[in-house]
Amino acid sequence: MLELERELARFEKMPPPDDAEAARLAAWIFDTGRAESFVAELDGRIEGHAIFYEGINSFRARPFLFLEDLVVTEAARGKGVGEALMAEVAREAVARGAARVEWSVLDWNEGALRFYRRLGGYPPTEWLRHILEGDALAKLARTGTESP
Query: One of 115, 116, 124, 132 is an active-site residue; which one?
Result: 116
Strand pairing report for 36-42 and 101-103: unpaired
53: left (phi over 0), alpha (psi -120 to 50) or beta: beta
Q: How far is residue 99's CA from residue 56's CA, in Å, rounded to a whole number?
A: 9
User: Annotated catalytic, 116?
Assistant: yes
Q: How far is residue 81's CA from residue 87's CA, in Å, rounded to a whole number?
A: 10
Q: Other CB atoms closer than 10 Å to residue 72's CB: what's the count?
A: 25
Q: How many residues appear in the chain?
A: 148
Q: Residue 45 corresponds to which amino acid? A: R
- Active site positions, annotated: 116
